[in-house]
Amino acid sequence: MNRTERKLRALAAGHRLVDPMAGFVDLAAIREAVEDLTKAFAPLGRVQHTVAAKACGLAPLLRYLGDLGVDAEVASPGETAVAEAAGIRGSRLVLDSPAKTTAELAHALAEGTAVNADNFQELARLDTLVGTARRSVLGLRINPQVGAGRIGDTSTATSTSKFGIPLRENRARIEEAFAARPWLTRLHVHVGSQGCPPELMAEGVAAVHALAEDINDRAGFRQVTSLDLGGGLPVNFTSDEPGPTYADYVSTLLARVPALADGRYGFVTEFGRSLLARSGFLVSAVEYTKVAGGRPIAVTHAGAQVAARTVLQPEHWPLRLTAHHADGTPKTGPGVPQDVAGPLCFAGDLLARERPLPLLEPGDLVVAHDTGAYYFGAHYAYNTLPRPAVHGFTVSEHGEVRFTPIRRAQTLTELVADAGAEYVGALPAA
């Protein structure tokens, strides 16, 4: 049974759920993605695969991935706490972030979590924290300055990027930092994510591999023992056809830097979107329809609160949408250009503009595909709308669908608490 068939069966079984909007995760699709990842990177030898927690952020999914052998890359105290609650901690965590506090660093070192320092000031802070009992793998994030991909906001290896230490201006200083700190044993690089082609990513890896060789030559021994390759493999959101695969990426890496396969370095990966996006989809009921200026408009419950990037930058983050009857079966009929609107109180809150779909009617379902990464976790609290429930599902070989809760829908009581309800009456009299 392929992914599309599993999705349709889950839609048919899930139409009885009472929420006007919910997220769904195909657990078999995650397992397949992990299998593709580990198989593709086998030629590189020792590889620790981590999932970027920012792309997932839900403890049950991190636990599921952990059971499949995938560790976690975290970039905030919250992500760290969620990963640790999911049972992924210590050496199974990699801590990145350009703004780590002293408390975060101290916790990571106490736990044996790997840390990639983002800048020289953070490195100086580590100098005061690193003791004689060093369990953490410590590295330095390098900006290889190889340029931008198609989307500027997700390109992290530009000449002026806020991430990492710029290589061109600081190569000598970086080598000196390693020479003064024998406990620095890793280099980290991440060129960017969606919109960055594998060739550009490989250029960044090549630059950092060359730097590692120079550091080791200067030290006279293999001080740098591992390279963190980051993540960033782009996803094809336009169709079910795959974009670049992990196998394609590894082939590109080895063509550019054959020495990656010589066994001298261990590696870390930090994929997120490419690992999870295809596994998930959002479903919203159509609440109302109308016609304005001759254009049909379907008002749904899915807008910028769950799809901020798609709403605010549709040219970079379009989503495939499909129309379904209330029982989950696909709608048929001619494609009618129509707006698919969300519930938020600004005119631009649209999942799609003039999208050709069978004409939507109240009670129909709209499915937003490939939303398994970021869409479930990056909630935008405009209009105080609740976070939707997320359900994992499996489909047996006989077509039976089983749902497992990943996150329940946020309640109004919880929303009121987030709005400071405990302090009602605390302000001085007006």
CA angle at 55 for the pair 148 and 25, rounded to the nearest 5°? 130
Burial, 73: exposed, middle or buried (Cβ in 10 Å; 0-12, 13-18, 19+)? buried
User: What is the mean pLDDT for each group of 10 consecutive residues in the chain (430 residues)?
Assistant: 86 80 96 98 98 96 98 98 98 97 96 97 96 86 92 88 95 97 97 92 97 97 97 92 93 98 97 96 97 97 97 95 95 97 97 98 97 94 95 93 95 96 92
Q: How many CB atoms lie within 10 A of CB 279?
A: 24
- 24 close to 391: Cβ distance less than 8 angstroms: yes
Backbone angles phi, psi at 370, to 5 degrees: 60, 40
**Local structure of 46: helix, strand or coil:** coil
Cα gap 276→372, rounded to integer Å = 5
Torsion of CA 405, 409, 410, 412, to 10 degrees: -140
Give the pTM: 0.95
> Alpha helix locations (H) across 286-394?
308-312
List, for residues 360-396, the tens digit of each pLDDT value.
999 999 999 999 999 999 999 999 999 999 999 999 9
Alpha-carbon torsion (337, 326, 21, 383), positive or negative? positive
* β partners of residue 291: 296
Give residues with Cβ within 8 angstroms of 78, minimum separation 6.
none
Residue where the block lists tokens 């023992």: 225
pLDDT at res. 132: 64
pLDDT at res. 133: 60
pLDDT at res. 154: 86
Q: How many CB atoms lie within 10 A of CB 181?
A: 17
Q: How many CB atoms lie within 10 A of CB 323?
A: 24
Residue where the block lists tokens 């049950």: 60
- 278 close to 243: Cβ distance less than 8 angstroms: no
Cα gap 48→366, rounded to integer Å = 38
| Closest by Cα among 322, 311, 234, 316 to 278 | 234
185 CB-side CA count, 13 A: 18
| Strand extents, DSSP E, 154-264 | 165-166, 184-188, 226-228
| Closest by Cα among 264, 233, 262 to 247 | 233
| Closest by Cα among 86, 84, 72, 82 to 110 | 84
**CA distances for 33 relative to 27, 83, 338, 403, angstroms:** 10, 20, 34, 20
